[in-house]
Every structure is written in C-alpha cells, then in structure tokens.
C-alpha cells in the first residue's frame, strides 16, 4: 500500500490528542506524537530554536581575502618621506677609475697629471616594495698621490690634451713627486644622492657616499738635463746618454 503525506484537508484533528503523523489507511489511534508504522520519527523542535531568531543560530564564517569581514587585509606600507645614505647602499654608484699622465711612470720634480671620469648618473631599485630611482652626483674628489700627500678638489680633472696644455705642466689635479720610488695613487669620489619615487616626487638623501678607485702604480724616475750631440734615443753611444 503506497504511503502519502496527508494534506491539510485530510489531516486528522490533533486537538484532542488523536492519531497524527503518517496515514497508513488505518485509524489514527491514540498515539499522539508516536511515529506511524513505517514512517519517519516525529519531529520535535528544540526549545532554543523556538525561542531564538534565525540569525542567532547562524555562525558567521570568516574568510581572508573575500572582501567581507574577518581577517586583516594585507597593506602596502606608504613610501618613506625621507632617506639616508644607509637606505640606498644597495644601489651603489658606478665604479671609479683613475687615470694618470704620462702613464704608469713619471719624472721626479715634474707634474704628474691625474683625472677621473666620474659623472652624475642614476640607479633603479626598490625600498619597502616601492620602485625608486637614486641619482648620484659627484661633489668632490679626494686625491691620494701615494707618497703620503692628499688633497681634495671639486673638479674631476682632465687630460693635458683636453686642457690644451703641454705634457708635464701644472693642472688643477696634478702633483709633483719629490723622490724616486714606486707609488700607488688613487682617488675617492664623494657623492650626494636624491631619490625619485614612482609618482615623480624627488627626495634628497641625507649624507654623502664615498666611492674609491683601484690603486694605480706609478714608477718615478729622475731626469737630468745634459748637452748632447743629437737625440740620445738616436745616438745612445754619445757622451752623457
């Protein structure tokens, strides 16, 4: 015999405790809340469910990255408003090269010319996740002649040819050695820096950064002026040659 749910027109009257639940074709009996044979158990709502609104029975689900509540959203730190040299050390300026004239040798008592080609330049990188460009500007040059003397200038120097001068003449960056020896000369370039953010904002960097060149060996010779017949390179057997 097929079992069907009773609709409202055929449901027995439960007001007097008469049979309820499933209709199996027999009289409702006096079971009340008892289950009909073959049917599901009777439904008994909990007291809490009857006394509480539906919203209080729902447990909120926390989700990260869902756009809703729950969990802290990741934040990108704001770009710094100031920088020091230590903040940009990973973006070091270009290497420095020292050039000596006449070359890796010179003459005691004559001018030995020095110059470097360090110029203003930029390097790109990131700080706290923000792209930046650091511009390095040379502001001074410390010359170490290798004989115990040093000096500082604001010019990088230039070759004798670029200056339109004769060899062994004085320049703003030349030095006169006094003793025969082999020395190690070098130059240290002092840079200032500024940071440019992605939005175009330029921020000066506090402090300066030094970048030294590799040492250049220079062998120093003595020279005497003598009267000869012709050039000694052409007549090496001449007296005093």
Task: List the single range of 8-17, 104-113, 122-131 with lowest mean pLDDT.
Answer: 8-17
Model-level pTM?
0.63
Residue where the block lists tokens 């370039």: 189
**Region 147-170 average pLDDT:** 97
Q: Give yes or no for residue 35 having a pLDDT over 70.
A: no
**Region 195-199 average pLDDT:** 93
User: pLDDT tier at 28 (50, 70, 90 boundaries)?
Assistant: very low
Task: List the single range of 16-30, 129-143, 144-158 with lowest mean pLDDT.
Answer: 16-30
Q: What is the DSSP secondary structure assignment for residue 180, as one 8-state letter? A: -
Task: List the single range of 36-45, 79-88, 124-133, 199-208 with lowest mean pLDDT.
Answer: 36-45
Q: Is 131 helix (H, G, I), strand (E, B) or coil?
A: strand
User: pLDDT tier at 58 (50, 70, 90 boundaries)?
Assistant: very low
Tens digits of per-residue pLDDT, 113-128? 999 999 999 999 988 7
Task: List the single range of 26-35, 72-81, 103-112 with lowest mean pLDDT.
Answer: 26-35
- Enter the tokens of residue 106: 């010179």
Pairing of strands 216-221, 105-107: parallel
- Contacts of 119-126 with C-beta under 8 Å, sequence gap 24+, read 121/93, 121/94, 123/91, 123/92, 123/93, 124/91, 125/88, 125/90, 125/91
Q: Give yes or no for residue 22 having a pLDDT over 60.
A: no
The C-alpha atoms of residue 38 and residue 61 are separated, in whole angstroms, by 39
- Enter the tokens of residue 88: 């940009």
Can you list the domains of the chain with their CATH numbers?
83-221 (2.60.40.10)
* 83 or 112, which is more confident: 112
Spatial CA neighbour of 195 closest among 131, 151, 240, 241: 131
Q: Is 134 helix (H, G, I), strand (E, B) or coil?
A: strand
Residue 7: predicted pLDDT: 45
Region of 96 please: left (phi>0), alpha (psi -120 to 50) or beta. Answer: beta
The secondary structure element, H or E, covering residue 49 is helix 47-51
Residue 59: predicted pLDDT: 52
Residue where the block lists tokens 């020896």: 181
Residue 11: predicted pLDDT: 44
Q: Is 234 helix (H, G, I), strand (E, B) or coil?
A: coil
**Region 180-185 average pLDDT:** 97
Residue 241: predicted pLDDT: 74
């Amino acid at each position: 015999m097929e079992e069907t749910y009773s609709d409202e027109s055929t449901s027995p009257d439960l007001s007097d405790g008469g049979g309820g639940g499933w209709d199996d074709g027999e009289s409702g009996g006096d079971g009340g809340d008892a289950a009909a044979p073959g049917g599901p158990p009777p439904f008994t709502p909990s007291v809490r469910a009857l006394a509480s609104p539906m919203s209080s029975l729902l447990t909120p689900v926390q989700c990260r990255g869902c756009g809703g509540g729950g969990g802290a959203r990741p934040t990108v730190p704001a770009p710094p408003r100031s920088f020091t040299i230590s903040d940009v050390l990973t973006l070091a300026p270009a290497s420095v090269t020292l050039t000596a004239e006449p070359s890796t040798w010179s003459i005691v008592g004559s001018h030995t010319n020095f110059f470097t080609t360090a110029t203003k330049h930029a390097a790109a990188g990131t700080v706290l996740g923000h792209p930046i460009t650091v511009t390095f500007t040379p502001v001074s040059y410390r010359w170490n002649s290798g004989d115990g003397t040093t000096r500082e200038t604001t010019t990088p120097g230039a070759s004798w040819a670029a200056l339109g001068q004769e060899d062994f003449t004085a320049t703003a960056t030349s030095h006169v050695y006094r003793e025969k020896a082999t020395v190690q000369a070098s130059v240290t370039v002092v840079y200032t820096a500024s940071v440019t953010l992605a939005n175009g904002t330029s921020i000066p960097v506090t402090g300066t950064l030094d970048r030294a060149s590799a040492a250049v060996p220079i062998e120093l010779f003595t020279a005497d002026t003598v009267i000869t017949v012709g050039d000694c390179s052409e007549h090496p057997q001449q007296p005093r040659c």
